[in-house]
């Protein structure tokens, strides 16, 4: 089955700097890669996703890149702000098999002001 590894486990950046979180997946059949943000005391919330037919996707200060050959994808947050502090999870899925997401272990992002 699919296995998703996520690095780093914790990341501290200064406000205004960029943050990058990386994930690798094992199943070459996976074709959908969402990123979730979990704030303290809340459930995860989908913030951006990418499909395997796209190499990069941007939404304001966040972007996700995908390298299918190397089977890894990354979340990039630019101009970080204190409200970006949260736990971020990557996940992988095969759209043909619908609903099952396999999650990475999570990255605690701290933005220092």
Partner 1 sequence: NAGVTQTPKFRILKIGQSMTLQCTQDMNHNYMYWYRQDPGMGLKLIYYSVGAGITDKGEVPNGYNVSRSTTEDFPLRLELAAPSQTSVYFCASSYSSRPYEQYFGPGTRLTVT
Give the residues lining the site for partner 1 (CB under 8 A): 4, 6, 9, 32, 34, 36, 41-46, 49, 89, 93, 95, 98-101, 103-106
**In the complex, what is the shortest distance from the CB of residue 113 to partner 1, in angstroms, rounded to a whole number?**
26
**Nearer to partner 1 (CB atom), residue 48 or residue 78:** 48
**Nearer to partner 1 (CB atom), residue 10 or residue 18:** 10
Exposed, middle or buried, 16 (CB in 10 Å: 0-12/13-18/19+)? exposed
Ramachandran sector of residue 64 (left: φ over 0; alpha: ψ -120 to 50; beta: rest): beta
**Nearer to partner 1 (CB atom), residue 78 or residue 103:** 103
Report the distance separating Cα 29 and Cα 93, nearest Å: 8
């Amino acid at each position: 089955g699919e296995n998703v590894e996520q690095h780093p486990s914790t990341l501290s950046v200064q406000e205004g700097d960029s943050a990058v979180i990386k994930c690798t997946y094992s199943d070459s059949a996976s074709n959908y890669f969402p990123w979730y943000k979990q704030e303290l005391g809340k459930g995860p919330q989908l913030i951006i996703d990418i499909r395997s037919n796209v190499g990069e996707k941007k939404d304001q200060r966040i972007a996700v890149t995908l390298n299918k050959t190397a089977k890894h994808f990354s979340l990039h947050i630019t101009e970080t702000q204190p409200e970006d502090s949260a736990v971020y999870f990557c996940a992988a899925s095969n759209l043909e098999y619908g609903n099952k997401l396999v999650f990475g272990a999570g990255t605690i992002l701290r933005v220092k002001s």
